[in-house]
Structure 1
Amino acid sequence: MADGSVLTRLLAPLADLGRAFTPPQLDLTTYDGLEYRWKFFVFLLRQEAILAAAIAVYVIFYWFGSSVNARRANTWLNAHSVLYEAQFARPLDGGLIKDGYTDFFAFSTGRRVVESLHTVFTLIPRHDMVQIVFQFLWRNLYDLAYEPRDELLLDFKISDDVAVPDFVFAIVSKDELHSIKDNRWDLSFTKTSENPALPSALTVMSEFADVTEAVFKQASTFLDTLKKPATQRYFRSLSITDQPRAHPEKPTFARERRVLLSLVAPPPSDAAATLPLVTATFALVDGLERLSLRPETKTKLRKVREEFVARMKEEAAREAKEEAADVRAAAKKKAEEERIAALPAAEQAKARVLPHSSFALRALDAGKILERERKRNLRKTQGKVVRK
């Protein structure tokens, strides 16, 4: 007994230490919240259960949305792969390239008339729950005309060896008129008009009537295909252009002739619906080298482009003159600041409160720069081609 008492006294500090580090037991008799049991696991706290469920829903939403987008792009390409293989020596050079979870690209080359074809998918961000909710609220609460869609663009770059006249022409769905005018600067060269050869839901944007007639002669197959409701519902626009889609920064900008077919990407179950329209577009592209315009039309087209370049050169010269004036003003300001810095302290204090002090000059120069940038941006956004 004596030995037991001694051992108990020796172990008592260790027992006290163990009780100090042992967390208090949960009193389950007073718990009235949610309780989830699975085998020997018990989830008692409601907040943690809701958080775990929310994370699980987000992960499932993310995985499902990204897989749907990838499947939509792959299914469309598979439905059109036979056509691509028949048209190009290298139909899908590098396969389908993925850029995030909404953008997919395919590059094709090795064909007469066409230097390259970029197939570009811009899909709804189905993987992002926040963006989906935002788009839903924006459409239903703010902009009723806003309609997020899966977009598909076939960008044909015409070979430089092919003799195709320089012009801008487009067939556009009337639902797209507002957005396409805002996003496509090159279409500012055109005028919008109705045409009896098109369904009532479509309209023409062309520089001259002769251009429209010449294109329609080579686009008979495309127009017949476009009249079918099965393909028309996925059509957004077809444009033939020699101008950049965005306003050029300099007068010496590169001009490339392109044919752009813009579609709504169909669902996987209807991926082959656009096959006749894409096939007809290849035929239209081949017909461009046979396209003929009247000499007076070519003269007008050339004059429009020359006048636009001349205006850009005038603007560039004016901006260069303004920048040179700014440089001279900056040099003058620096000289003034150096002169003031060389004065005694009392005279410096008097000089800095004058209307043309260094602070006032800096504010004046900043105002000029901001005003010039504002005018430059205004010219870009409102710069329409004026035709006489």
Structure 2
Amino acid sequence: MADFVKGLFGGQQPAKVAIPGDDDFADYAGAPEPTPAAISSYTDAAHLAQPTGALTARPYTAWYRVWERTSPEDFKLEMYILPFLFVLILVHVWGTRANRSKAKAWSKAHAPLLQQEFAQVGFREGEATSDDILREKKADEYSTYATGRQNVAFIDFKITLIKRFNPFMLLGEYLIPLFFESIPAPAERVEATAYVFDGNEAKHAPQYGSGDAKKVSNSSFDGFVFAIVHKDIMKRMREDRYDISLTTTRDHAKLPVWTAVMSESAEITDMMLTPELIKAIHDAGDSFEALIVTDQPIDQPKTLDDTKPKKRINLSLKLESTYTATLPLFQLFLRLPDHLATAAHFRPEALRRIKQTRDEQISKIRKLDDDEKAEERKVAADKQKRELRDQKLGRLSAEEQRKFLEKERERDSKKKMKRSTVKG
């Protein structure tokens, strides 16, 4: 037994004699011979006979089996958010299509009339269908364009719709005007602005200078500001637009009671209120918002260039489900430049007050401009004087600089005393 224990723990063994000349391998001389590892007792035939493909198979784990490691309770937040997002997407798609269909309905009703009056309607050259004349700038804003007509350089159309595609913004636009009177409630409208030639056909359209241009009558007319507006927006128009602030507001017996006339002269009012226009406004009803003829800017002019007359005609109408009532007024608006080129030539007495108002504004701007230039000249002169003073002071000695600064302080104190004496 003792021999067995000694053999197991490497008991004393007789030392082997090292082979001469083999010193490098002396450390391995006493190493025991390697023996094969014993087979474990749990190794059975099933493990030994395991096929090769089973060695590369993924072991069972719940990492990729979502249904085993999760439950519906883990997706409560998603179950609340996803239906909400789905509803928002549906509302956005529905609102966008509803706005698009409403804009196309307007173009379908007005495209024949525009194509009858203008050579080009829409942004594409050549004849376009009613679906092609509109351009979608935003989901709630569409625009189109018309040109190629006598007395009119071009007309811009802007269709503004409510934000059906965004219920939160739409709700805010309806709630905010309830608390702030200066913010108008949202409304669907079409705004048209006609820019007249005013005798500048050769400048805007060179083809008028040759061929049949001699047969075209002169399109120039006297500048003035005239407007017929709905009383619901009369106050806001006067506050927001500079040109409307130049007029005098009156009611007119021939017009509906819910409208007001803003004009610079009674003679201008009589010229503008033709029987056709009065009837068209009556037929339009509450769909009518404003008809404006102006040669002044919308914003307060700040430079002399802003006071140059730029004659325009504006029409604002509410969008309705049908356009039968507003089509006569729309057609009259398209042909209004012809009436102005023919009849808008007034007596000098009627234009004297209009010219006086323009001259007063020009004189105010010129005075402000002269004051600004005088201030700039004064600043430049003071700067030059300081530079000369600094140059002179730099050439003096220390004692001379002290005397110079003392004299300068004495002069400043005398000036201050003189100013206080004069004020007293």
| Normalised TM-score (structure 2) | 0.67
What is residue 275 of structure 2 aligned with on the other side? 220
Deviation at 1:149, TM superposition (A): 0.2
* Equivalent residue runs for 1:349-388 within 5 Å: none
- Alpha-carbon distance between aligned partners in 2 of 1:149 and 1:248, rounded to the nearest angstrom: 29
Do the aligned partners of residues 238 and 333 (structure 1) sit closer, same or farther apart at CA in structure 2, a change above 3 Å counting? farther
Structure 2 counterpart of 1:264: 318
Residue segments in structure 2 that go unaligned for 5+ positions in a row: 1-42, 125-132, 200-218, 392-424
| Residue-by-residue CA offset, 1:204-237 (whole Å, 9 max, x unaligned) | 1111212112222xx3201111112xx1211001
1:285 aligned to 2:327?
A: no
Q: Is 1:118 aligned to 2:118, yes or no?
A: no
Matching of residue 299 in structure 1 with residue 352 in structure 2: yes
Deviations 1:127-147 (A, max 9, x none): 223311211332455559842
Q: Look up the match of 1:151.
A: 189
Aligned to 1:119, what secondary structure does the other structure show? strand
Write the deviation string for residues 101-145 of structure 1: whole angstroms up to 9, x where unpaired: 122111101111111111111222222233112113324555598
Structure 2 letter corresponding to 1:251:
L
Could you tell me which residue of structure 2 aligns to residue 61 of structure 1?
91
Q: Is the Cα–Cα contact under 8 Å of residues 192 and 206 in structure 1 kept in the other structure?
A: yes
SS of aligned partner of 1:270: coil
Question: In 1, Cα distance between the equivalents of 2:158 and 2:384?
Answer: 50
Task: Give the conservation status (yes or no) of the 8 Å contact 2:140–2:163.
Answer: yes
Contact 1:75–1:271 (CA under 8 A) maintained in structure 2: no
Equivalent residues of 1:69, 1:102 under 8 A apart: yes
Partner of 2:300: 247
State yes or no: 1:4 paired with 2:4: no
Provide, for residues 146-200 of structure 1, a one-character-per-residue CA deviation record: whole Å limited to 9, x for no partner.
4210121111111121121110010011001122112211111111111112111
Q: Return closer, same or farther for 1:332/1:67 CA change in 2, 3 Å cut-off.
A: farther
CA pair 106-144 structure 1, distance change in 2 beyond 3 A: closer
Q: Distance in 1 between matches of 2:90 and 2:387?
A: 62
Which of 238, 241, 253 matches 2:291?
238
Name the CA distance, whole Å, in 1 between partners of 2:45 and 2:390: 96
CA distance in 2, matches of 1:126, 1:47: 28
Instruction: Extract unaligned runs of 5+ from structure 1.
Output: 34-43, 339-388
Once the two structures are superposed, residues 58-104 of structure 1 have per-residue CA deviations (whole angstroms, 9 ceiling, x without a partner) of: 11111111222222222111101111111111133432122111221
Matched residue, 2:137: 99
SS for the counterpart of 1:233 is helix
Amino acid at match of 2:372: E
How far has the Cα of 1:332 moved from its partner?
A: 8.4
SS state at 1:198 partner: coil
> Match for 1:55: what amino acid?
L
Give the direction of change, closer, same or farther, for the CA distance of 1:78–1:12 in structure 2 (3 Å limit).
closer
Residue 198 of structure 2 is matched in structure 1 by 160
Any idea what the Cα deviations from partners look like across 1:338-381, whole Å, max 9, x if unmatched? 9xxxxxxxxxxxxxxxxxxxxxxxxxxxxxxxxxxxxxxxxxxx
Provide the secondary structure at the position in 1 that maps to 2:91: helix
With over 3 angstroms needed to count, the CA separation of the structure-2 counterparts of 1:138 and 1:317, relative to structure 1, is same
Q: Residue by residue, what CA displacement relative to the aligned partner does 1:43-70 show, whole Å, maximum 9, x if unpaired?
A: x733212211111111111111122222
User: What secondary structure is seen at the aligned counterpart in 1 of 2:83?
Assistant: helix
Residue 17 to residue 112, structure 1, CA distance change in 2 (3 Å): same
- Residue 59 and residue 330 in structure 1: after superposition, are their counterparts in 2 closer, same or farther (change >3 A)? farther
**Contact preservation (8 Å) 1:214, 1:293:** no
Question: Equivalents in 1 of 2:383, 2:319: separation in Å?
Answer: 54
One-letter amino acid of the structure 2 residue matched with residue 54 of structure 1 = F
Q: What RMSD over aligned residues (CA atoms) do the two structures have, in Å? A: 3.3
Cα gap change, 1:296/1:330 in structure 2, threshold over 3 Å: closer, same or farther? same
C-alpha displacement of 1:325: 4.6
Letter in 2 for 1:179: R
Q: 1:130 aligns with which of 168, 172, 182?
A: 168
Q: Residues 153 and 262 of structure 1 are in contact (CA less than 8 Å); yes or no, is this contact kept in structure 2?
A: yes
d(CA) in 1 for partners of 2:356 and 2:101?
48
The CA distance in 2 between the partners of 1:61 and 1:325, in whole Å, is: 63
Residue 241 of structure 2 corresponds to which residue in structure 1? 184
Structure 1 residues 70 and 55, CA, compared in 2 at 3 Å: closer, same or farther? Answer: same
Alpha carbons 2:146, 2:154 under 8 Å: kept:
yes
CA distance in 2, matches of 1:336, 1:130: 66
Do the aligned partners of 1:169 and 1:190 also contact (CA within 8 Å) in 2? yes
Give the alignment partner of residue 310 of structure 1, picking from 363, 383, 392. 363
As a proportion of its length, which structure holds more helix?
1
Q: Distance in 2 between matches of 1:63 and 1:280?
A: 37
* Aligned pair partner of 2:260 in 203, 208, 218: 203
- Determine what percentage of the aligned residue pairs are the same residue: 24
Structure 2 partner of 1:276: 328
Shift, 1:12, TM fit = 12
The 3 A distance-change label for structure 1 pair 106 and 16 is closer
SS at match of 1:45: helix
Q: Using CA pairs below 8 Å that are at least 6 residues apart, which structure has the higher relative contact order?
A: 1
Structure index of larger Rg: 2
Contact kept? 1:93, 1:109, Cα under 8 Å: no
Q: What amino acid is aligned across from residue 281 of structure 1 in structure 2?
A: F
